[in-house]
A and B are shown apart, each in its own frame.
Chain A
Amino acid sequence: MLLQFCTKHAQSKQGGIFIVLALALILAALPFVVGNTLGNAWLRILNFTLLYIMLALGLNIVVGFAGLLDLGYIAFYAVGAYCYALLSSPHFGLHLPIWLTIPSGALLAAFFGLLLGAPTLRLRGDYLAIVTLGFGEIVRIFLNNLNAPVNITNGPQGISGIDPLHFFGISLGKPINFLGLNVPSLHSYYYLFLALTALVVLLSVRLKRSRIGRAWMAIREDEVAAKSCGINTRNLKLLAFSMGASFGGIAGGLFAGFQGFVSPESFSLMESVMILCMVVLGGMGHIPGVILGGLLLSVLPEIFRQNAAPLQIAILGKVWLDPEALRMLLFGLSLILIMLYRPNGLWPTSAPSSAEQK
């Protein structure tokens, strides 16, 4: 009986390792497959998908774990991006490597997270959403206007000529010769983003299954009861804000280095809403669900963008509906359908919550 149990357990563990290995292999081969079949445009989309997954996981800490509705999350992405842009571009003449720029972006974003969290500690739900929305807009408007009297952000023109991500003399902007293999720039970005996404996933999983994660979820479920269980809700909410923000800051720095250009218009309210949709559609608080949400909402619109007009011409003879309008229409429709038929998201936590497993 016991033996049976043990072998079964070992099998499942081996099975888990097998799945992880297979997944790693697929993810490692993916850029070459995508690059050779669909082209570099799709490789860029893939890289952006990883950034969005990072952002969604960061927001998931705030919204999914601690239950704090944040509509200004993109501000932390902006802070990370501008931090990288200022520290590694001709704008100030600084060219720091990523092991300085990315962590400082993460720290600065975490600080902004505290800045947002501190005055909003007593707010919940709708009220919190309004304040965070305002915060996101304030950050964007500041970036837009901080070109006078002292030019810090270069205003609406944004900062261009940002250095590609670089460290120890290696620049990801150029092809890298790795063990005789020529790795193109887009591919090396992909691997760096993949590694950091994996790190963010690992951090999320570990935080969720810890004393801290449990306390966040308790606050989400019932703040008064959480207080009475001895949870310092003030500190834990601030922690959630700053942890979530730091993930956004990391993604922002990567974005700036990858794109080579940042401007305030990349950080509009619509982006915040999009990331929130990834979290909510995927399954709030459930890490695989959030990853799925990030993946779907970054890849599907692109597929649509490329095929909407040609499809209309093929079927109807001419473009009846502007692809952009049609995209928003379908996006809205799918939101409504998902909220009606899967109100907990596409891949929600199975009850009871998985955080309990060791």
Chain B
Amino acid sequence: MADDDIDVVIVGSGFAGSLIANELAQQGKKIVILEAGDGLPSNINRYLERFYKAEDKVPESPYPPPMSDNDGHFDTSDPKTVRAGRPTLRTLGPGKWNDPKQSYLDQSEAKRPFASTYNRVAGGTSHWLGTCLRFVPSDFKMKTLYGKSVPEFVDWPIGYDDLVDWYGKAEAELGVSANVADQKYLNINFPSDYNYPMPAIPESPTDRAIADALANLTTAQTAFLGMATAPTSVRVRGLPAARNSQPYRNRRACAGNTNCIPICPTQAKYDPTISLHEPLNHKNVRMMRHTVAREIILDADLRNVSEIKYTRYSVTSNETVTNTIKAKIFIIAANAIETPRLLLMSRNDERTPEGVANFTGMVGKYLMDHPYYLAWGHMPLNGKQLWPYRGPLITSGIGDLCDGPFRSQRGAFRVDIGNEGWNFVAAGIVGSDPHATTIDFVNGVNRSLSKQPSRNGVGLFGPALTKALNDNITRQFRIGFLVEQTPDAGNRVTLSHHVDGLGLRRPKIAYDLSSYTRLGIAAAYKMKNLIFQKMGAIDYTDLVVADRDPTRFEQQIDGKPVTLNYGGAGHIMGTHRMGFDRNDSVVDSFQRSHDHDNLYLVGSGTFPTGATANPTLTIAALALRTADRIGKRV
């Protein structure tokens, strides 16, 4: 393929990039994908082996470049030596998150940690859970509905009805298992003949225990939610997931490995490598791996992109090659931090000193996540066993509470019910389970402070040990709350003076939680109390918040100070948002730059508001819609 033949250059091969490549390849377009990290592996065995061997089985643990040494211990290389760096969970702890010598993201001036991470590898977010929620219709018109009291909110230039068919197409491509009747709530609607590609995934005993606990409530108990009518029951619904409930497109049914994150060992869960395999088998599609885009170069009148400058590096030596690539259309699909970083780095010999696609200075602003409030519960030893560590990581959740009049006052939340016990409790503080509990019993300690009675150094062995472990571990559970975050102009991606291993300026993050968002977390705290009380569960949530946790904050709740904290959901959104024109946004509803006719900036960076649903299905629906539009252009 000669350079002047190329129809489309795509930067990044995650969800959006892979899906667009696949659609356009089917139309015979000539495509080059620039991938900063490793290419597609021939199989996932090495990923799995790296995961099994990892001391900390964090989301990034299986994926290259290896974040651990040969013994599985975390590698603390200075990010200035890493050529395609990335944020990691292990660099989010106290003393690390805001030290650019340890953390790839420069958060040295952030008010609070931006707590989400990402990978840079072919297939991008393969370490996702598989959740495939549609947004609820209200999520697209937050300004219209709640903008009077929350001026940060904007409307999307499209609504649910514009996306409904694209949602269906995305569900077919990813292979989603769910039941239509179970997913009709808060005005989510489906075409009359619509069925999900596969039947729903069955619920877990923990799902049932929580559903039972919320079946009968009083309006006094639920008044705090601020719904139009205080509900007398709250429904637990199956979570639509791109996880096969039966064989689908040559992949097998989920075997319940309880490991969707970091890695599904059977690929029963969809990941973008699956959509990537098809185009990469096509003669018109080429992927350049270990190739980092460094500048988007505009033509003389700044109206169109003429080429992209990239650096290709060798993984076995210090050798690099810098070159440019031309095409008719350019698509930046590098995630909501790396995409604005590339735009801002593209100064075109000071012809665009503020970067590309940035005539109105909005690139990088409105960074959002779903701050994730985690609650840790334990049934009493004479109470019900819940059998965690079985089945997919999450099978059910609560979605019915994510829209209502309360959205004028506080952030909405969506509830995840975990099937993995205390697996990621307090990582880095007492370690995750089942390690923490096993050490507690064997060594007669009580580091997780949940063992009763405390053993004062006397270890348990033999049958007493097996009984204690079974009694405890089978009664663990956790709930997660995905909290809506306002799009705040001060939460933004700029360029750091700290560089990466290629000498390119790393992303610098400013981040805080607005009062609206913190009130959403406070409401999640009250919902947690209600669920635990109705279940008769013991609440260990407060014990898990460490004194030095950089995400902790105090919040007045019903007149009392309560310590809360949050994690990252990995849902990086908002930094090149879509809108009606260049005064309110960076791209249009087809994710095309307002400033440059042949430049598309795709992915969750285009979300003007973040709602509470995991973004992937909406990323996919928008990507397919964009691919359709581009296909008609070239």
Q: Do A and B bind each other?
A: no
- A→B interface (CB under 8 Å): none
Q: Give the A-binding residues of B (Cβ under 8 A).
A: none
